[in-house]
Structure 1
Amino acid sequence: MKRREFVGLTSLAAGALFLPNFPGFGGTLVDPARLLEPMMDAAVNKRLADAAMNAAKSAGASYADVRIGRYLNQSIFTREKQVQNIASGESYGAGVRVLANGTWGFAATNTVTEAGLVKAAQTAVQIAKANSKVQKEPVKLAPQKGYGDVTWKTPIQQNAFEVPIAQKVELLLAANAKALDNGANFVNSALFQINEQKYFASTDGSYIDQDIHRIWPTFGVTAIDRASGKFRTREALSAPMGLGYEYMVPKAADKIAGPAGTGLIGYKNSYDILEDAALAAKQTKEKLTAKSVTPGKYDLVLDPNHLGLTIHESVGHATELDRVLGYEANYAGTSFATLDWKKQNKPYGSKVVNIVADKLQPGSLGAVGYDDEGVKTKEWNIIKDGVLVDYQKTRDQAHIVGQNESDGCSYSQSWQDVQFQRMANISLKPGTQKMSVDDMIKNVDKGIYIAGRGSFSIDQQRYNFQFGGTVYYAIEKGKIAGMLEDVAYQANTQEFWNSCAAICDESDYRLFGSFFDGKGQPSQVSAVSHGSAHTRFNGVNVINTARKVG
């Protein structure tokens, strides 16, 4: 399933049928109780990794790293009053990556024994030596100190896998009931849970044990006008998070009121699925009679749940160095923000636009202590005061831009896939002046408020784009003036970010997330978050997406 299909996720029930083939959900379907069995022992993993690295060095490798991984997942799908699918999966194995004759080689095995890893290491060296015959120039790795024996864990309060399935099903069905009680005709819901238990070792001297958790509750609600045959939908306004089951226990302190007149609620580190499902049903019915937008120029006020996707597509992917260099040209495109473009110091956005990459952001999907090359993670600037100042890089890319340090952006979706450059959490920093969303709207004479994700399109260079949302409200003379439909905005990346006029303060800041972000050949998925507060963009072109037949 492609990333664009998953962002929309308009039919969770249909998705359930394809669960065993989801990217990142490889491995064996198992009894849920197995997900709680301890299996990864650091002392054993260290012995296995040393055997593999010694074998690689003996075979002629100048560098080697070993990733031993146990990947657990559980997904629950419901529709109205029924459970449609529950699937628990486990994948366990090891991957060995080496440098020999200045060339990468990689091999993986599910035989997690000394003999199995030694064989994988020797195979990886053979592959590297064979590849070196066509290598144009040797790989140059940025220096990396070894950290010795270290551990890192997602700071969760409650492991989602320890929560009884019956309790999780009960919550999803309760959300469905809330939607039906408030006027929905159809509703489906899902809960995705992932645990990555990863051990990394390298000839640099690192032995890193990490335990990473992610969770994503979501739903889709549909209301029908049977007289006309018209129907409308509304997706959940949840964000997938790097948290435990505590995310499913709503806390009043984590709620942020949306604009007056919308009834919308934003969520930070916990989510109220019952509240959101009830509101979704009411808004879906309201969408059936909402006014169709008149095309033209509008000031847009975008909520964080919506803006996160625009950040992801127009900044996150555009500043991945491998894309900039053309490594992704055959599959997912290139970037307008080339090295030559950066040298010209053209404005990426207005001076209020400050975008950072951050692999340490609490609660984010991309939060880890160390990446899959054993690099300690950090925060760094991507866009500062509207100017592009840096990219996202791995160890073998840093020298290309004259740097001697990786950004810690390496990731692999599993033990059997080679690690490569993946997007960090890319976020828009909040404004420094106190400002609520209602304060922001007061300054809009003619505008549209957009919340939630919708369909989108962006070109291969991450430049020309079109984005829709979940719900839309007209803004007239500083106030919300009723719901709109058929809204999408069009711009190019520079025009859009240069139209950024105001950003709410830190109190309004929250995360959006992409749980299944696809990239690479063969394709891999990763999970990444994008934070922002409500943001205003002035004079953006809005089109009417309604299709007229006949």
Structure 2
Amino acid sequence: MERRDFIKLGGAGMGALLMPVSGMAVSLDQLLDKPMDVAYKKKLADIALNAAKAAGATYADARIGRYLNQFVRTSETRVDNIVNTESAGIGIRVIANGTWGFASTSNMTPDSIAQTAQRAVAVAKANSKFQTSPVKLAPVKGVGDVKWQTPITKNAFEVPIKDKVDLLLSVNDAAMANGANFISSTLFLVNEQKYFASTDGSYIDQDVHRLWAPFTATAVGPDGFKQRTGLGNPVGMGYEYLDGLEKDKIKITGANVGYNNSYDMLEDAAAAGKQLKAKLKAKSVEPGKYDLVLDPAHLMLTIHESVGHPLELDRVLGYEANYAGTSFATLDKWKSGKFQYGSDIVNLFADKTQPYSLGNVAYDDEGVKTKEWDLVKDGILVNYQATRDQVHMIDQNESHGCSYSQSWRDVQFQRMSNVSLKPNPKDISAEDVIKDVEKGIYIAGRGSFSIDQQRYNFQFGGQLFYEIKDGKIVDQIEDVAYQSNTQEFWNSCTQMAGKSDYRVGGSFFDGKGQPSQVSAVSHGCPTTRFNNINVINTARNV
């Protein structure tokens, strides 16, 4: 995979993560150009499919993609960078001699597309010399001509750059006016214009929008510095998420502000400044066993790492081992029908149709209609996440619809769906979850984490920590991380809030594979309690 254009986000709060902003730099006017006519996309796709079949393919699919990105970054009172990029081309995947082949091109002429399809077939035939058993695809009925778009109210790409910069600089002002000494704020916008066609008879045109507005604020004191990142979620929405057209804000007692389909970034930044001042003075946690009450803005990452990744079937089978390994949730555990992944109130499910989520699409990158399915039901492991060529390995004949490619130039493969924890059937509040806790810690926001090669033993930090005494949130504390293993942790789950507290967070750049690809995925959950969890002091490392 080409990795020519990277922008490195500074600050320890971003984990020194490299954020790919791929494609060629373009002007704002080019970014707003109309997409290719759908009838012409179909014509080009048919050229690819027909050329592949003529060359010997028994199956072929073509993905015509136009991928747009906008990146705006500010620090304190200045604008650091504004980048607009565009990438367009076609990726062609085939089966020939029972083996996958793939090729791609950015040259969108009919002759080039036909040659690329022939090259994909040649790759498949060359690979077939090493194939021990033929690819077996679960059946998919062609759907003909279909269109789908992320249900946005305001296209974020059409919002003037001045408005976006003004928002970020106002966010910076709010944080610094309330106690932060430094702050960087960022806006990521993504638009994937994807056209999928296959020899099954599908012609699917999808227009996918995503948005993320993170910030990292820092306060400096006599004994060092503290940081707090934003608690807003990356979403599958338009600019209405930031300008308040869809207000649905939830106050979380004792901590910060949670958001569903609207994010008051200024309020979050102002709260961050105040909380940073408190962080500088907060007492350090005493290590020991605590009941943990985890805010959705924190728990979503624990779900991602301890449920989402280990229940990807390619990790379970040992076909995938990059980015923290394979999986402890092996097939024998699933086949037993008795493996207690969590307590009997734990119900975890996958669903790429969730509104506002990062993974929300109508069809995956294999042309499979997306759906919801159970992974853990009443605490028992019942299923995995699998694609068309995998489901027969778990005695199923219908793909789960979780194939994805980060671009037209990269082959699609199994990626995590939106994986979420179902809320309590009784619509109880976060306060109800807390009220029975005698000695506990409330944790909000994502922090550093570590998990082993089997996705089993782990350690998680956070952004905000509050001591709970006798059912009440009291003092802000610091230096908290908890340690457990996946099965022990989810079996310690004793209570969760109801649907009115359910929120969807996510990961905008989730890495997997070799060569590496990134995808965007969300995780929903309510405020949830886990009893008797080991907490360490990260400052003392005990």
> Do both share a fold (TM > 0.5)?
yes
**What secondary structure is seen at the aligned counterpart in 1 of 2:213?**
strand
Aligned amino acid, residue 123 of structure 1: R
Pair 1:251–1:71, CA change in 2 (3 A): closer
Aligned mates of 2:16, 2:58 — CA distance in 1:
48
Shift in alpha-carbon separation, 1:177–1:14, aligned structure 2, 3 A: farther
Match 1:242 to one of 209, 228, 236: 236
Matches within 5 A, 1:99-248: 99-225=95-221, 227-228=222-223, 230-248=224-242
- Alignment map for 1:333-412 (pairs within 5 Å): 333-344=325-336, 345-412=338-405
CA separation in 1, counterparts of 2:210 and 2:298? 20
Question: Does the residue aligned with 2:274 lie in a helix, a strand or coil?
Answer: helix
Q: What stretches of structure 1 of length at least 5 have no aligned partner?
A: none
**Is the contact between residue 178 and residue 277 of structure 1 (CA under 8 Å) also seen in structure 2?**
yes
Gaps of 5+ in 2: none
Partner Cα distance (1:117, 1:216) in 2? 34
Given the two structures, how large is their TM-score scaled by the length of structure 1? Answer: 0.95
- 1:58 counterpart residue number: 54
Among candidates 513, 524, 527, match of residue 531 of structure 1: 524
Q: Distance in 2 between matches of 1:104 and 1:517?
A: 25
Q: Which amino acid aligns with 1:274?
A: L
Q: Which amino acid aligns with 2:362?
A: G
Residue 271 of structure 1 corresponds to which residue in structure 2? 263
Residues 1:331 and 1:219: Cα distance change in structure 2 (over 3 Å):
closer
Q: Does 1:324 align with 2:300?
A: no
Give the distance between the partners of 2:271 and 2:291, measured in 1 at CA. 26
Q: Which amino acid aligns with 1:346?
A: F
**CA–CA separation in structure 2 for the residues paired with 1:238 and 1:330:** 29
The secondary structure found in structure 2 opposite 1:484 is strand
Deviation sequence 1:371-408 (CA, Å, 0-9, x none)? 00000100000110000100001000010001111000
Q: Deviations over 1:290-316 (max 9, x none)?
A: 010001110000000100000000000
Deviation of the 1:547 alpha carbon: 4.2
Is 1:45 matched up with 2:41?
yes
Identity of aligned residues (%): 65
Task: Work out whether residues 392 and 424 of structure 1, in 8 Å CA contact, stay in contact via their aligned partners in 2.
Answer: yes
1:484 paired with 2:480, answer no
- 1:300 and 2:292 are equivalent in the alignment: yes
The answer to whether the Cα contact below 8 Å between 2:324 and 2:455 also exists between their aligned partners in 1 is no
Question: 1:113 Cα shift?
Answer: 1.6
TM-score normalised per structure 2: 0.96
For 1:513 and 1:249, the matched residues in 2 are separated by: 20
Q: Structure 2 CA distance, aligned partners of 1:361 and 1:99?
A: 32
Look up the equivalent residue of 1:191 and give its one-letter code: L
Measured after TM superposition, the shift of residue 255 of structure 1 is: 1.1
Q: Residues of 2 paired with 1:38 and 1:14: CA distance?
A: 35
Deviation of the 1:32 alpha carbon: 1.4
Shift of residue 12 of structure 1?
6.2
**TM-fit CA distance, 1:27:** 1.3
The answer to whether the Cα contact below 8 Å between 2:35 and 2:193 also exists between their aligned partners in 1 is no
Q: Deviations over 1:402-423 (max 9, x none)?
A: 1111000000000000000000
Any conservation in 1 of the 2:247–2:262 contact (CA below 8 Å)?
A: no
1:122 partner letter: Q
**SS at 1:416 equivalent:** coil
1:142 alignment partner, SS class: coil
Any residues of structure 2 matched to 1:30-41 within 5 Å, and which? 30-41=26-37
CA contact (8 A) 2:324 2:452 kept: no
Give 1:14 deviation, angstroms: 7.5
Measure the CA separation in 1 of the matches of 2:230 and 2:169. Answer: 15
Q: Which amino acid aligns with 1:222?
A: T
Q: Which amino acid aligns with 2:120?
A: A
Give the Cα–Cα distance (whole angstroms) in 2 for the partners of residues 332 and 482 of structure 1.
35
Distance 2:434 2:371 in 1: 35
**Does structure 1 conserve the Cα–Cα contact (< 8 Å) formed by 2:57 and 2:96?**
yes
> What letter corresponds to residue 211 of structure 1 in structure 2?
D
Deviation at 1:483, TM superposition (A): 0.5
Secondary structure of the residue aligned to 1:133 is: helix
Match of 1:415 among 408, 412, 432: 408
Aligned AA (1:232): K
SS at match of 2:217: strand
CA change 1:276–1:6 in 2 (3 A) is farther
Q: Check the 8 A contact 1:239/1:512 in 2, yes or no.
A: yes
Q: Does 1:315 align with 2:307?
A: yes
Q: Which runs of 4+ in 1 moved over 3 A?
A: 5-15
| Deviation by residue 1:443-490 (Cα, 9 ceiling, x = unmatched) | 100000000000000001110000000000000011112001000000
Does residue 286 in structure 1 map to residue 282 in structure 2? no
SS of residue matched to 1:280: helix
CA spacing shift, 1:311–1:115, aligned 2, 3 Å: same
The offset of 1:9, in angstroms, is 6.7
Q: Is the 8 A contact 1:331 1:521 kept in 2?
A: no
Q: Could you tell me how far apart the structure 2 residues matched to 1:6 and 1:166 are?
A: 23
1:450 corresponds to 2:454: no
Query: Is residue 13–residue 228 contact of structure 2 (8 Å, CA) maintained in 1?
Result: no
State whether residues 8 and 455 of structure 1, in contact with CA within 8 Å, keep that contact through their aligned partners in structure 2: no
C-alpha distance 11-502 of structure 1, shift in aligned 2 (>3 A): closer
2:434 maps to 1:441: yes
* Contact preservation (8 Å) 1:336, 1:461: yes
One-letter amino acid matched to 1:474? E
Instruction: Provide closer, same or farther for how the CA distance between residues 198 and 499 of structure 1 changes in structure 2, counting only shifts above 3 A.
Output: same
Choose from 512, 518, 533 the match for 1:519.
Answer: 512
The separation in 1 between residues aligned to 2:211 and 2:179, in whole angstroms, is 28
Asked if the contact 1:11–1:188 (Cα under 8 Å) also holds between the matched residues in 2, the reply is no
Q: Does 1:258 find its partner at 2:252?
A: yes
C-alpha distance in structure 2 between counterparts of 1:118 and 1:417, whole Å: 18
